[in-house]
Amino acid sequence: MLHIRHILFLLLICLAAMPSTAQRLKTNKKLLRTVAQSQQASAAQYKLLMQQLPLDRFPVTYYEKTRKLVTSGSEPWVGGFYPGALLYLYEGTKDTALFNEAMRKLGPMEKEQFNKTTHDLGFMMYCSFGNAKRIAPRPEYDQVLINSARSLCTRFSEKVGCIRSWDSDAARFMVIIDNMVNLELLFAATRLTGDSTYYKVAVTHANTTMQHHFRPDYSSHHLVIYNPATGAVSKKQTVQGASDSSAWARGQAWGLYGYTVMYRETKDKKYLDQANHIAQFILRHPNLPADKIPYWDFNAPGIPNAPRDVSAGAVICSALFELAKYVDGRTARTYFKAAESMLQAMCSPAYLAAAGTNGGFLLMHGVGNYPRNADIDVPLIYADYYFTEAMRRYQQW
């Protein structure tokens, strides 16, 4: 006869063997097919785009009216997204033309490892060389990532507890929420070197940002200005948002993505709580449209006729697929379903450009910098990058 102790023991074994909520959430076969088709269509688009690019130029956006392709050198923050998106698409399609183009673009990016004039080295070097290392590792990539992290850390101030974002005024230590996404590079550098300095810089920056960038409702300011001599906060304001008190959509997306990475890398629950709070601010916001692709600012004037920002949507979608793995029960389902609905929208003709249009970019309807009247309702290379990442995250769920 089974003793009560045996029954309890068996029950415990059964519970331990049960899949977690995230494991039990199933991908939708139809959406998986749509994603595979979108990857094929995206590969064809990028083959058009690549024909227009000299070796040392990187795509930024395209203006439909004037049929103008806007490109940059390797030095602005967007340089790494094109090789990174090519690599994600290569993983999904196994089309070697994409892989070869990505490899070709790493050459002119490489020198940026020594660039100490920007905080964007995570975007630039981790999205490019980080993905290259993941897919087709070469020892020289490790050194590029380490050098990039070293350059990024030269911008860290012990006094402020942050990495400086912008250099335009030495008397004002400026930090934008976007900077959270540069920290992933630092964790990679600590893994590669065993040196915890990079890790500590990332944690300190994330803690300071958590303390000063966020409002009580967990929306975030875009820019916090610190006194470099004392570390005191002197101003909180926006540059790319609708107002100092508004929630700029891509800023909220960078925060969500950044604190999700912070939890992945440290397993410190305070970062998971922060990511959850940000996710809830976004998903419960009354101005979030039905397809969950946000307006360019959650408080944009003119809603519901304000432009959407698909780049914010793509970053949020990709982050939610990751965050859903770290939370339990209904929360995981909420994030997963929201991300699925965003992915579905981005794979539809409402956002995914028809073959041969959009200058060869994948997604339509991004907003670069609304207050400056720059890049409104256009394709954006960073929207494409996080879209290709979200597609892979869904396929690999």
159/227 Cα distance (integer angstroms):
9
249/298 Cα distance (integer angstroms):
6
- Least distance (Å) between residue 382 CB and ligand GLY: 7
If one asks whether residue 221 binds ligand GLY (CB under 6 A), the answer comes out as: no
Q: Which two tokens stand for residue 315?
A: 């970053």
- Least distance (Å) between residue 329 CB and ligand GLY: 33
Give the x-and-dash track for 223-242 against ligand GLY (CB under 6 A).
Answer: -----------------x--
Q: Which two tokens stand for residue 45?
A: 């688009």
- Least distance (Å) between residue 254 CB and ligand GLY: 7
249/295 Cα distance (integer angstroms):
7
Active site residue 120: yes
If one asks whether residue 309 binds ligand GLY (CB under 6 A), the answer comes out as: no
If one asks whether residue 384 binds ligand GLY (CB under 6 A), the answer comes out as: no
Which residue number has the CB closest to ligand GLY? 178
Q: List 366's β-bridge partners, or say none.
A: 378
- Least distance (Å) between residue 16 CB and ligand GLY: 43
* Catalytic member of 95, 178, 309, 375: 178
Query: Widest CA span of the chain, in angstroms?
Result: 83
If one asks whether residue 199 binds ligand GLY (CB under 6 A), the answer comes out as: no
The Cβ-side half-sphere exposure at 190, using a 13 Å CA radius, reads 15
Q: How far is CA 205 from CA 115, 197, 208, 233, in A?
A: 20, 12, 5, 14
Distance of CA 42 to the CA centre of its chain: 19
Which of 77/199 has CB closer to ligand GLY? Answer: 77
Q: List 62's β-bridge partners, or say none.
A: 69
- Least distance (Å) between residue 261 CB and ligand GLY: 15
Which of 208/238 has CB closer to ligand GLY? Answer: 238
* Catalytic member of 95, 120, 309, 384: 120
Q: How far is CA 389 from CA 92, 188, 194, 317, 328, in A?
A: 10, 18, 28, 9, 23
Size of the site for ligand GLY (CB under 6 A): 4
If one asks whether residue 178 binds ligand GLY (CB under 6 A), the answer comes out as: yes
- Least distance (Å) between residue 385 CB and ligand GLY: 12
Coil, strand or helix at 295: strand
If one asks whether residue 77 binds ligand GLY (CB under 6 A), the answer comes out as: yes
- Angle between helical axes of 81-93 and 96-109 (0-180°, round to 10): 160
Tally of helices (H runs) and strands (E runs) in the chain: 15, 9
Q: Measure the CA angle with vertex 306, ends 343 and 311; round to 5°.
A: 35
If one asks whether residue 322 binds ligand GLY (CB under 6 A), the answer comes out as: no
Which of 78/332 has CB closer to ligand GLY? Answer: 78
Which of 210/380 has CB closer to ligand GLY? Answer: 380
Which of 112/340 has CB closer to ligand GLY? Answer: 112
C-alpha distance across the termini of the chain, in Å: 43
Positions in 241-270 near ligand GLY (CB under 6 A): 250
Do residues 40 and 355 touch, judged by C-beta distance below 8 A? Answer: no
Which of 48/376 has CB closer to ligand GLY? Answer: 376
Which of 46/386 has CB closer to ligand GLY? Answer: 386
- Least distance (Å) between residue 184 CB and ligand GLY: 14
Known catalytic residues are: 120, 178
Contact residues toward ligand GLY (CB under 6 A) are: 77, 178, 240, 250
